Amino acid sequence: MNRFALILALIATPALAEGPDTQALERLVRQDCGSCHGLTLRGGLGPDIRPKALSHYEPEVLQGVIMDGIPGTPMPPWRPLLTEAEAAWIADYLLNGATQ
Amino acid sequence: MTALQRIFGGAAPVARWATPPEYFRNGERRGLAMRSAIAAVALAMCATGVTAQDIRATGDLGLVVERATGSLVVVDQSERARIGRIEGLGDLSHASLVYSPDERFAYVFGRDGGLTKVDIVEQSVVGRVMQAGNSIGGAISDDGQYVAVSNYEPGGVRIFDADTLDMVADIPTGGKTIGLVDIPGGRFVFSLWDQGETWIADLSSGAARITKIEGIGTNPYDALVTSDGRTYIAGLFGEDHLTALDLWQDTPQPQKILPGYAGDREGLPVYKMPHLEGWALAGHEFVLPAIGQHEVLWVDARSLQETGRTATHGQPVFAMARPDGRQVWVNFAHPKNDTIQVIDTITKDVIHQFEPGPGVLHMEFTPRGHEVWLSVRDAGKIMVYDTQTFEKLREIDAESPSGIFFTARAHRTGL
């Protein structure tokens, strides 16, 4: 499902035909999501976003949260800075890949 | 013999080697006596401090947090150099620290809830407790007796004996605490993110007496106190103003400052929360980062009325007055965190803009402000600049450096 969404997103974004720069995205998650959620993603002013804490999210919903934020909370919309494909990669990374 | 006695200033060590134990034969006694004499002279030289090159005063030292590796770099301001490294401090991803009054020890507050006491002279960890699950910063009391830590999980403030790191007070708040500072009178002040309150904990009697002030506003995200301990300013995420308290009043009343500063303008995304610090006073005005607007806001320190605004390159994170107040240096949230702007306090104009490198996380001025040290995380460098000429003076290697803390902070209230 995740991969499918990612592939769809990639197809829809011809400029990123080679796929997101995963190293840069992983760095973004650790360092910049980490500003609020902690470098280890265990939470800070923002909540814990390790896989267990996010397990109730469908990947597409999480991708939407990343892109559009959560109004009324400090979670900002990342749409000005990320493509859908990149947000999809981050959602998948948070749900499955972030091990630490 | 008399010369040695003069050096030793007493007969005791001489007597010891002059009468060696019976089980040494004569020749050995002489050799032992000679070696003992050399050792005793060396010992005496150490004890009287004549080997000054081995002693390092701490007044111009500092510590730089290496956020990814859980370590601290010990730096020397005058030499513009790193002189050591202290390891084993856990998760320092949002770490800060305070200094003991004698500038020998630092108390380091790690994101993982670790409170670590380090000895700068010995460059070693001398105490460490895991005091919570997730913490955000701390403060040390004016007398140096107590160290307070602000915690997200479990929410509240815990206070420790500065010598032993034994807990002396636990102040649960039922939510995240932010903006913890020390003020005179053995007191700490902090705010509650969830409840919008500010609490004052008075430790002067040895036990914590709490005063609660309601109505600070929605979601205070950080706060500062002036170096006289009088004015406490909380920044609000959830409302379009900041809130000030006059802590010289018996019952401080929340006062709105900069009400409606964003007005009808659309709130811009905040990719990193600004920090409020005791460096906000530039001359007779506070300079404060706006939230959701790319500007810094100027407020008269007495009347708390707005005196101006300066448009900036991005969402300001730190707006720090140089110690003399003549300039304000500003860094920015992602994705503009490669840039620094310098603002002139009189004209409120940006007079200099430059890009030190990727991820400029923190700035620290030398105590009188002739230099500023920047941590440039993704370059793996600490960069030292002249604040008059803006010339780069030195680069110092460090692993993902973040906070820079010079020991002179030991003598400032509210840092």
For residue A69, the domain's CATH number is 1.10.760.10
> What is the pLDDT, as a whole number, of residue B94?
82
Local confidence band at A10 (pLDDT 50, 70, 90 cut-offs): very low
Of all residues in chain B, the one with the smallest CA distance to A68 is B269
pTM: 0.85
B94 touches chain A (CB under 8 A): yes
Spell out which residues of chain B touch residue A35, defining contact as CB-CB under 8 Å.
271-273, 333-334
**Is the CB of B270 inside 8 Å of chain A's CB atoms?**
yes
- B29 to chain A, any CB pair closer than 8 A? The answer is no
Strand order in the sheet with B209-213: B177-183, B187-192, B197-202, B209-213
Chain B residue closest in CA terms to A76: B269
Residue B167 has φ and ψ, to the nearest 5°, of -75, 130
Task: Provide the shortest C-alpha distance from residue B93 to chain A (in Å).
Answer: 6
Asked if the Cβ–Cβ distance from B93 to A77 is below 8 Å, we say no
Query: In Å, how far is B294's CA from the nearest CA of chain A?
Result: 15
- Is B134 within 8 Å of A80 when comparing Cβ atoms? no
Q: Which residue of B67, B94, B335 is in closest CB contact with A44?
A: B94
Residue B217 touches partner A, C-beta closer than 8 Å: no
In this structure, is residue A15 part of a structural domain? Answer: no
Token digits of residue B17: 């080697």
Structure tokens at B383: 């960069």
Distance in angstroms (rounded) separating the CA atoms of residues B199 and B212:
5
Which has the closest alpha carbon to B132: A62, A73, A44, A61? A44
Q: Mind telling me how many Å the CA of B234 is from chain A's nearest CA?
A: 16
Q: How far apart are CA A29 and CA A86, in angstroms?
A: 11
Q: What single-letter amino acid sits at B359?
A: G
Say yes or no to pLDDT of A4 above 60. no
The domain spans of chain B are 2-48
Q: How many Å apart are CA A58 and CA A60, to the nearest integer?
A: 5
* Touching B: A residues 27-86, CB under 8 Å: 31-32, 34-36, 38-40, 42-45, 69, 74, 76-78, 80-81
Q: How far is A91 from chain B (nearest CA, A)?
A: 18
Residue B356, classified by CB atoms within 10 Å of its CB into exposed (0-12), middle (13-18) or buried (19+), is: buried
- The confidence score (pLDDT) of residue B359 equals 95
In-domain check, residue A16? no
- Domain assignment present for residue A17? The answer is no
B contact residues 328-347, partner A, Cβ 8 Å cutoff: 333-335
Give dist(CA B21, CA B153) in Å, integer.
63
In chain B, which residues have pLDDT < 70?
Answer: 1-53
User: Nearest chain A Cα to B194, which residue?
Assistant: A45
pLDDT at site A66: 97
- What single DSSP character describes residue B52? G
Task: Provide the pLDDT for residue B25.
Answer: 43
User: Which residues in B lie closer than 8 A to residue A36 (C-beta atoms)?
Assistant: 272-273
Q: How far apart are CA B401 and CA B49, in angstroms?
A: 35
* Residue A14 included in any domain: no
- Determine the pLDDT at residue B93: 81
- B111 in A contact zone (CB under 8 Å): yes
Facing residue for B91 by CB, picked from A31, A36, A39: A39
Question: Which of B67, B69, B111 is the best substitution to test chain A (most A C-beta atoms within 10 A)?
Answer: B111
Q: Residue B65 has which token pair?
A: 């947090």
Please tell me the predicted confidence (pLDDT) of residue B26: 46
Contact A39 B111 (CB under 8 A): yes
B68 Cβ under 8 Å from any chain A Cβ: yes
Alpha carbon dihedral A57, A63, A66, A68, in 10-degree steps, equals -110
A80 with B269: Cβ contact below 8 A: yes
- H helices of B195-268, where? none
B285, B300 Cβ separation under 8 angstroms: yes
Min Cα distance B349 → chain A (Å) is 28
Query: Which comes out higher in pLDDT, residue A98 or B399?
Result: B399
Domain that holds residue A34: 2-9+24-97
Looking at A13-80, list the stretches that DSSP marks H as alpha helix, in order from N- to C-terminal side: 22-28, 34-37, 59-68
Q: Is residue A18 part of a domain?
A: no
Q: Based on the structure, what is the number of domains in chain A? A: 1
